[in-house]
Structure 1
Amino acid sequence: MDADDVSKASFTIAYDGASIKDGSMDVRDLAPALLAVGQLFDAANRALNGSDAPSISVNVQATKEGSFEIDLTVVQTFLDGMKTFLTGDFVTAAINLKELVFGGGVAVGGLIFLIKRLRGHKPSRIEKISDDTVRITIDGQTIDVPLKLLRLYQDVAVRKAYEELVVIPLQKDGIDEFKVLEARQEIASVKKGDSTYFIAPEPPSTVVVEDVRRSAFSIVSLAFKEDNKWRLHDGNNQISATIEDADFMHRVDSNVIRFAKGDVLVCEVKIRQVQTGQGLKTDYTVVRVLEHRPAPRQIDLFVEEQAAPVPEPEQTQDPPLSA
C-alpha cells in the first residue's frame, strides 16, 4: 500500500489530578477510556462518511509522566479508487476528522468546544449559511460551526463514546481534568465541573406499534400500590401490565373479587411498542377487564343417568284344551 493511501493524525490525551500525578492510572479506568477513543473515531467516521467509509484505527504510541498522558495516532486507510476521499464529499482524511472530534484547525474547538458551549441546552435556532457552515443561536448569541461538526454533535454513537472517554473517568476521585494536546500544546480540555455536559442525551422515542386487542391472561402476582404493575402470563410469556380499569380495581380493593391460582382474566389490552436508544420497548395496559374466569374446582366427568327398567308385558295363560 502506498503512503498516499494512508492518512495519519497524532494527538495526546491526558488525565490530570492528585491521584495520577505519579503517571499511573488504574487499568479499570484506563481500558474503557482507550476503547472509547477508538469507538469515538469509528462513530465519527461512520456519521460523516457513511457505512462505506475508509477503515480507521487508533494506535497507542507511548505514555508520559506528570499527569497520565497517552500519545495516539489515528490512521485512515483508503482503498484503491478512493483517493478522491481527500477532496470529495468525505471528511478530509484523518487530520480533519481529529480536528472535528477534538479541535484545532478549521473546527476551532471541535466537538469539545460545541458541547461545552451549548451546555446541554437545545439551540433556539439553527440556520444554514453556506453549503458547509451552520449558524447556531443559543442564549441570544450566535456561533458559526462546520455542518459536519453539528452532525457529530447529533450522532448518538459519537456522544456515547465521548461519555465513556470524558464523563466516567472524571467521576473518579482524584481525576479532575481531561485534556487533548497536539505537539505538546493543549487544544481542548474538560474539567470535572463541566463533565456533566458530556453525558449523552437520550434520543427521542418513537412509537412503532400501538394496538388494542382481546387477550386472556393468568395471574402471576398482584400489585395494589399506585403505579405498580400486575404480572400476567398469556400462556407463552410473562408480562407486566398497568391496570387502567378503575371499576375492576375498586371491586378488587373491596374484596368483591377474589383470586385463586389458575384464575384467568379476559381483557381488552393495549400494546404499545416504542423504539428507544436502548432498543425496542413494549408496554402493556389493561384497558378493561371483560371477564374473570375462576379456575375449575372439580373434574368435569360425563355421568350417564341409569335408564328406568322397562316393565315386562303380562303373560296370559291360554285356557286348557277340552277333551
Structure 2
Amino acid sequence: MCNIQKARIAYAGPALTDGEMDVRELAPALIAFAEFVSNAGKAIGCERNIKVMLNQDSLNKGSFDITFILNMSILEQAKLFVEGSKSTGLDDLMAILGYVANTGGTAVVIKSIFDLISTIGKKAMTKITKKSPDTSEIHLADGTKIEVNINTLKVFLDVGCRKSIEGVIRPLETAGIDSFEVRNPADKTDKKPVAAVKKSEAELFKAPPAKEITEELPEAQSQEMLVKLVTINFEQGKWKVTDGTNPAIWVTIADEAFLNQISNHEITFGSGDMLRIAYRHVQKLKNGVLSSEYIVDKVLEVRPAPKQIKLDFEYEE
C-alpha cells in the first residue's frame, strides 16, 4: 500500500505566458525540488523514503503536478491506521510546503518554509527558544520574535534543505520569470498561491554556509622515515618529498632549529639529497571532509647525494 499526497508548484511571469520554460532551467529546478522533499523528510524524522513523481499531464502554463508516494508494509499500514497519517511524515511535509495555514492562539505560528525564510529575510538571529512541544520562537536582532512550527524550523536549519530550496528558486534569476508558487493541486484553474516567492525575494533564499565543525582525529605517534627532496618551498615551509615507494607528498617543516640553519646558510641542498625525518601524520575532519597533513617535527640528518662516480672496486684518496 502507498500513502499518497499531491502538490502543485508553478513558475509565473511573462516568459511563461505560452506555457514554455527552458528545459535547462526547468530540469535542475525540478530535481532540486525532489531533493528538497527528500532532505525535508529526513530533517523532520520521516523513517521512509518519499518518492517524488512528476505527473505526465502536469505541464500546464509553467505549473507542475507533483505526487509524493510513501511505500508502506502491512505492519506500517496497521500503525498508520492506529496512530494516524501524521506518523508517515507526509502531512508534516505538506504543512512545510504551505498547504496548512499559519495558525496559532494569540500569535501566528509560521509553518511554511517559504514564509519563514521571507519573514526572517536578512535579519540576524540572536537565539532560538522552545515554546511548546510543537513550536519554537526565533529572536531577531531588531527585537522581533517569530513563532515557528518545530518541523519547519528543522528544515530551515538543515543545510541540505536550504541548498535544495536555493535550486528551486534559482529560475527567478532569469528574465521573465517573476515568481515561484505553491498552488492547489485539486484545481488547475486556481492560480491563487498558498505560498509564493517573488523575484525580489530570491536573494533571501541563497543557502547560508554550513556550521564549521572541525574534529582532529587521534594523532599518530611520531615516526622516522628517509625521504628524497623533490621540491623546496622556503616561503611557505612546505616541501615535497618521496620515500621511493609512494607518490610524492607535501610535508610541513616544523623544525625551527633546522629552518634557522637554512636561513643562516649553515645548510645547503642539492639535487638528490635526502633527509632522515621524525614526522607525524595529522588528520582532520571538517564538515564531513577528511584532510591529511604530514608534519616534520625534527630533521634528524641531511644526507647529501653521492658526488663520486660508481666504481666496481674500493678506492681511497
User: What's the Cα RMSD here?
Assistant: 3.5
Given that residues 10 and 182 in structure 2 are in contact (C-alpha distance below 8 angstroms), is that contact kept between their aligned partners in structure 1?
A: yes
Map of 1:75 onto structure 2: 69
2:192 is aligned, of 173, 185, 190, to 185
Task: List per-residue Cα deviations over 1:156-193 (Å, max 9, x = no partner).
Answer: 322232233224x3455655543333352221215355
Matches within 5 A, 1:46-85: 46-50=42-46, 53-61=47-55, 62-65=58-61, 68-83=62-77, 84-85=79-80
Of 246-255 and 284-293, more deviation after overlay is shown by 246-255
Distance change >3 Å, CA 123–CA 268, structure 1 → 2:
farther
* Deviation at residue 126 of structure 1 after TM alignment: 1.8
Q: Distance in 2 between matches of 1:293 and 1:304?
A: 21
Distance change >3 Å, CA 75–CA 248, structure 1 → 2:
same
Map of 2:4 onto structure 1: 7
Given that residues 169 and 205 in structure 2 are in contact (C-alpha distance below 8 angstroms), is that contact kept between their aligned partners in structure 1?
A: no
1:205 is aligned, of 199, 213, 216, to 213
Q: Distance in 1 between matches of 2:157 and 2:294?
A: 31
Does 1:38 find its partner at 2:48? no
Which AA in structure 2 matches 1:48?
A: I
* Deviation at residue 46 of structure 1 after TM alignment: 2.1
Map of 2:233 onto structure 1: 223
Task: List per-residue Cα deviations over 1:243-287 (Å, max 9, x = no partner).
Answer: 444554454456554433433333444543222335322234444
Kindly, what percent of the aligned residue pairs are identical?
A: 27
Given that residues 238 and 253 in structure 2 are in contact (C-alpha distance below 8 angstroms), is that contact kept between their aligned partners in structure 1?
A: yes
Of 210-219 and 27-36, more deviation after overlay is shown by 210-219
Distance change >3 Å, CA 70–CA 292, structure 1 → 2:
farther
Matches within 5 A, 1:98-247: 98-102=94-98, 104-106=100-102, 108-119=110-121, 123-139=125-141, 140-167=143-170, 169-172=171-174, 175-182=177-184, 183-186=190-193, 187-191=195-199, 194-195=202-203, 197-209=205-217, 211=219, 213-216=222-225, 217-225=227-235, 227=236, 229-234=238-243, 235-247=245-257
Q: Distance in 2 between matches of 1:215 and 1:170?
A: 58
TM-score scaled by length of structure 2: 0.75
Map of 1:23 onto structure 2: 19
Given that residues 117 and 204 in structure 2 are in contact (C-alpha distance below 8 angstroms), is that contact kept between their aligned partners in structure 1?
A: no
Aligned length: 295
Given that residues 115 and 198 in structure 1 are in contact (C-alpha distance below 8 angstroms), is that contact kept between their aligned partners in structure 2?
A: no
Which AA in structure 1 matches 2:118?
A: K
Q: Distance in 1 between matches of 2:233 and 2:13?
A: 49
Given that residues 210 and 271 in structure 1 are in contact (C-alpha distance below 8 angstroms), is that contact kept between their aligned partners in structure 2?
A: no
Which structure would you say has the larger Rg? 1
Matches within 5 A, 1:243-322: 243-252=253-262, 256-277=266-287, 279-298=289-308, 299=310, 303=314
Distance change >3 Å, CA 89–CA 193, structure 1 → 2:
closer
TM-score scaled by length of structure 1: 0.74
Given that residues 160 and 199 in structure 1 are in contact (C-alpha distance below 8 angstroms), is that contact kept between their aligned partners in structure 2?
A: yes
Map of 1:321 onto structure 2: none
Q: Distance in 2 between matches of 1:192 and 1:293?
A: 66
Q: Any stretches of 5+ residues in structure 2 without a counterpart?
A: 103-108, 185-189
Q: Distance in 1 between matches of 2:273 and 2:315?
A: 29
Given that residues 127 and 139 in structure 2 are in contact (C-alpha distance below 8 angstroms), is that contact kept between their aligned partners in structure 1?
A: yes
Provide runs of 4+ in structure 1 moved above 6 Å.
none
Q: Distance in 2 between matches of 1:137 and 1:154?
A: 14
Q: Distance in 2 between matches of 1:105 and 1:22?
A: 31
Distance change >3 Å, CA 277–CA 22, structure 1 → 2:
farther
* Deviation at residue 8 of structure 1 after TM alignment: 0.9
Task: List per-residue Cα deviations over 1:299-319 (Å, max 9, x = no partner).
Answer: 5977499xxxxxxxxxxxxxx
The alignment partner of 2:210 has SS state of coil
* Deviation at residue 103 of structure 1 after TM alignment: 5.8
* Deviation at residue 210 of structure 1 after TM alignment: 5.0
Distance change >3 Å, CA 267–CA 149, structure 1 → 2:
farther
The alignment partner of 2:233 has SS state of coil
The alignment partner of 2:180 has SS state of strand
Q: Distance in 2 between matches of 1:291 and 1:96?
A: 66
